[in-house]
Amino acid sequence: MALTTAPGATRRTGPVAPTPSRTAARRAGLGRKVRDNLTGHAFLIGAVACFAVFSWYPMVRGVVMSFQRTRRGETTWVGWDNYSRIIADPSFWTAWKNTFVFTGLALVLGYAVPFFVAILLNELRHAKGYLRVLVYLPVMLPPASALFLFKFYAYDPSEAGLFNAILTALGLPTSEWMQSPTMTMPAMVIASTWMNMGGAVLIYLAALQNIPGELYEAAEIDGAGVWRRILHVTIPQTRLILALLAMLQIVATMQLFIEPLILANGAGTQDSATSVAYLIYQHGFFQNDLNGAAALGVIMLVVLAGFSAVYLRLTARQD
């Protein structure tokens, strides 16, 4: 991520020819510097306090909690007990399997589709504004609203459901959607992709607009067709964005929670919708097992850190 390359910053203490005011400020010396710093820290304090209390401290506390057990107000160290208990839960592996299936399907659908949609939109010269607004519109809906729409209207297992009506009209067999264990995951991926793809499309569009036109020109002169131009110009030119969004997509989809909760009332038919995040919620807030939930959170963090490491290695090698 190019997060640290802020452009256009000229430092106050930078290599600029000293103007009278600068030398005066420098001569004023240490006292002035300290006072400057004090103001600086005063401006930072609110945000830093919020980060400390609600991000940095919980981070550490989550790890600590995962090795503790609290009973009747007494906290004791229990080593890896929470971890072994969590892993022994039969839902643990089902939840991981489901989460990976969702992430995998979401990479195919929610990652490739927006890229091609962005390429398509970038080629069109008309109705640009309208199409962009349309794609981003679902992102603005509260997820609960959008998911109730899918649950009640689209995934109605009778023939009155929107999707089944379309399938019937096309002469295809209907599906039970959320009632069928095999369709649960694809149905959740479809709903989730519809809700979320707008953001990715817009980011890709911005990246596509930065590709120099001469590259396409040159490729065309060399006799490259449209597909070869996509393969040899578009994809290499946007590879950093592609890699970054793949990473973000994995992190986002691994947290699959509200889709199972609303579409499948939690676990779904035969546990077909249980996800790791849903298990954290179950343990923490229904089974009164906050320590087990914390351990599950740490496991999730380790898995995601593994993905990040792979991502960093892959992107580092490309440069």
Q: Tokens for 266? A: 């939690």
Q: Which of 252, 249, 254, 259 is nearest to 150 (CA)?
A: 259
Q: Which is nearer to other proteins, 182 or 313 (CB)?
A: 313
Q: How far is the CB of 106 from other proteins (least distance, A)?
A: 15
Residue closer to other proteins, measured from CB, 105 or 154: 154
Instruction: Select 108 or 226, whichever has its Cβ closest to other proteins.
Output: 226
DSSP 288: -
Q: How far is the CB of 185 from other proteins (least distance, A)?
A: 19
- At closest approach, how far in Å is the CB of 280 from other proteins? 6
User: Whose Cβ is closer to other proteins: residue 182's or residue 225's?
Assistant: 225
- CB–CB of 304/254 below 8 Å? yes
Residue with smaller CB distance to other proteins, 93 or 116: 116
Report, in Å, the least distance between residue 170 CB and other proteins.
Answer: 12
Of residues 225, 279, 186, the one with CA closest to residue 271: 279
d(CA 5, CA 270): 49
Question: What does the alpha-carbon distance between residue 195 and residue 106 come to, in Å, rounded to a whole number?
Answer: 12
Burial 133-164 (b: 16+ CB within 10 A, else e): eebeebbeeebeebbebbbeebbbbeeebebb
Nearer to other proteins, 182 or 309 (CB): 309
Least distance (Å) between residue 122 CB and other proteins: 6
Shortest Å, Cβ 103 to other proteins: 12
> Are 261 and 278 within 8 A, CB to CB?
yes
Cα 37 to Cα 51, 52, 184, distances in angstroms: 20, 20, 56
